[in-house]
Amino acid sequence: MNFTKEIWENGMTLRACEMGGAHSITLMLMLRGGAAWEPARQKGITHLVEHLCFRRCAGMRQEEFYYKVERTGGLLRGITYRDRVLFEITVSPSHFNEAADILRSLFEENGWTYEDIRREKAVVLKQMEDGNDYCLETMISDFFNHSPCGEPIAGTRKKLEKLTRPQIKAQKAELFRSEDCEIILTGPISPAQIRHAREVFSPVTRAAAKECADITPAYFLKRQSKHDQLFTDEADIVKVGLTFDVDTSKVLPIEAELLRQLLCNGLLTPFTMRLREELGLLHEIQSNTEFFDFGGLMYFIFSVHKDDTPLLMEEITKILAQQKQCIDKRAFECVYAAYTDGAGILFDDPRSFAYELAFDDGIKTPQSYVERNGSITYEQIGKAAKEIFKPQNLIVSLNDVPHEENFKRMIYEKKGQLKQALEK
């Protein structure tokens, strides 16, 4: 497999991995943008711009644009993350040129009307109502010390409604700056297709440089858990959220991610076996790691019946304290296999590998990804656990906690026990 990297005169970067055994090509456009870079009064504007790109693109009406996309046999997707925006389309090699032209059209003037903006705001507002994970939003807000960087990616209703057409057009121009764009290609790519991509995207005009916001949250590390939160409700189900700061000067992102997977992703992992299989306390565990220029976070969300919350907190305390002292070796072996031999799926899936390239510029080919992961040792994960699972790195966020004072006292007591256990 061959890897190509080019930086064109307009500042745009191309990264391409030729995957000869695959039968489809993924073209991805990665842009720097999102809540981490937005002005405080315009939170959510990048997400709205991403939505509007599907409403009207390069002056084409939505139906016309959708027809252009669908006749390639592919599906154009757009995703806004906290610090980047991705557009990607996967097609057969025979439709590569059309797919490249579609991504190139995103840079052109859209001609959004006031009605386009009104309708798309309504879509986003509905999305907010239907899809908000309030526990996760609370945790992210706590992590960022309630700064604007920690606001929801889609913004708030109040801020979204106030966004104006000139502001939205200006944000679109800022988002699609060539210097902050990467084109990622994966699949059975030919030299002729790379040349076509160069011809299509290199004419994009370089924009004037603009000073970027500082996205480092105040008091990022060693916050001593001053921002723990309890939110009360009448629900029978309580959401328990744990967030750990990850100091990436001491822990590699891949080490933190493997540690997270080791705890709860798989049948034999400690959280899964004990909390779900043995005790039947919950159906699934929501978890993730996220990384930024300054560091990262690891979070877990447990949805549990209020009557089972004390037992859940006790078991979480035991598991984390034990894992900090000695990582479960069987769970490590399973996760290790999934990230090495099991990662062979990436050799056959250009789309999945394109996302790996987008979020990890330290890899070039599926083989380098597998080899890098294979170099991670059991001892490294053990050291990562000791570095991450410290009480000063922990924020506890609970949503839908009953109003009863006895329940709240119990929660604070269990939180104290968890932090004491992590101190050892």
pLDDT for the residue 148: 74
Same domain, 238 and 370: yes
pLDDT for the residue 219: 44
Scan for tokens 């053990």, then name that residue: 382
Distance between CA 344 and CA 338 in Å, rounded?
A: 9
pLDDT for the residue 181: 95
Domain end (from 160, 182, 201): 201
Same domain, 348 and 278: yes
Q: Name the β-bridge partners of 232.
A: 401
Do residues 119 and 129 touch, judged by C-beta distance below 8 A?
no
- Tokens (6 digits) for 27: 């073209």
Q: Is 369 contained in some domain?
A: yes
Same domain, 94 and 239: no
9: confidence class by pLDDT, cuts 50, 70, 90: very high
212: confidence class by pLDDT, cuts 50, 70, 90: low
Q: Is 348 contained in some domain?
A: yes
- Extended strands (E) in 19-147: 25-32, 77-80, 84-91
Residue 61: count of CB within 10 angstroms of its CB: 13
From the list 414, 409, 407, the residue with the least C-alpha distance to 235 is 407
209: confidence class by pLDDT, cuts 50, 70, 90: low
Same domain, 192 and 239: no
Lowest mean pLDDT among 85-89, 119-123, 280-284, 309-313: 280-284
Domain holding 81, by residue range, is 2-201
- Residue 377, SS3? coil
Same domain, 334 and 414: yes
pLDDT for the residue 239: 87
From the list 290, 150, 295, the residue with the least C-alpha distance to 221 is 295
From the list 332, 342, 331, the residue with the least C-alpha distance to 366 is 342
Q: Is 210 contained in some domain?
A: no
- pTM over 0.95? The answer is no
Domain end (from 155, 183, 201): 201
- Write the CATH number for 377: 3.30.830.10
Same domain, 181 and 297: no
Same domain, 111 and 63: yes
Residue 404 clears pLDDT 50, i.e. is over it: yes
Same domain, 11 and 109: yes
Task: Name residues whose C-beta falls within 8 Å of residue 151's C-beta, 6 or more positions apart in sequence.
Answer: 35, 43, 44, 141
362: confidence class by pLDDT, cuts 50, 70, 90: confident
Same domain, 31 and 177: yes
Residue 131 clears pLDDT 70, i.e. is over it: no
Helical H segments across 132-177, by residue range: 134-143, 157-162, 165-175
Question: Which of 1-5, 203-207, 385-389 has the highest mean predicted lDDT (pLDDT)?
Answer: 385-389
Q: Is 214 contained in some domain?
A: no
Q: Is 209 contained in some domain?
A: no
pLDDT for the residue 236: 79
Q: Is 84 contained in some domain?
A: yes
Q: How distant, in Å, are the alpha carbons of 74, 136, 297 from that of 396?
A: 42, 11, 13
292: confidence class by pLDDT, cuts 50, 70, 90: confident
Residue 203 clears pLDDT 50, i.e. is over it: yes
User: What is the percent of the chain with per-residue pLDDT over 70, rounded to a whole number?
Assistant: 93
Residue 300 clears pLDDT 70, i.e. is over it: yes
Phi then psi for 423, rounded to 5 degrees? -75, -25
Taken in order 396, 397, 401, 405, is the CA torsion positive or negative?
positive
pLDDT for the residue 294: 73
Q: Is 207 contained in some domain?
A: no
Same domain, 401 and 264: yes
Lowest mean pLDDT among 119-128, 233-242, 310-319: 233-242
**Mean of the per-residue pLDDT values for the chain?**
88
Residue 208 clears pLDDT 70, i.e. is over it: no
pLDDT for the residue 221: 47
Same domain, 378 and 277: yes
At residue 414's C-alpha, the angle toward residues 410 and 416, to 5°, is: 120
Residue 257 clears pLDDT 90, i.e. is over it: yes
Identity of the amino acid at 395: I
Helical H segments across 265-404, by residue range: 270-271, 309-325, 329-339, 350-359, 366-374, 378-388
Q: How many domains does the chain have?
A: 2
Q: Is 172 contained in some domain?
A: yes
pLDDT, tens digit (0-9, with 9 covering 90-100), for 315-351: 999 999 999 999 999 999 999 998 888 777 778 899 9
At residue 104's C-alpha, the angle toward residues 99 and 106, to 5°, is: 105
Let me know how many helices (H) and strands (E) the chain has, helices first: 16, 11
User: Mean per-residue pLDDT for 7-33?
Assistant: 94
Lowest mean pLDDT among 134-138, 152-156, 164-168, 376-380: 134-138
Q: What is the DSSP string of 237-252?
A: EEEEEEEEEE-TTTS-
pLDDT, tens digit (0-9, with 9 covering 90-100), for 148-187: 778 889 988 999 999 999 999 999 999 999 999 999 999 9
Same domain, 250 and 358: yes
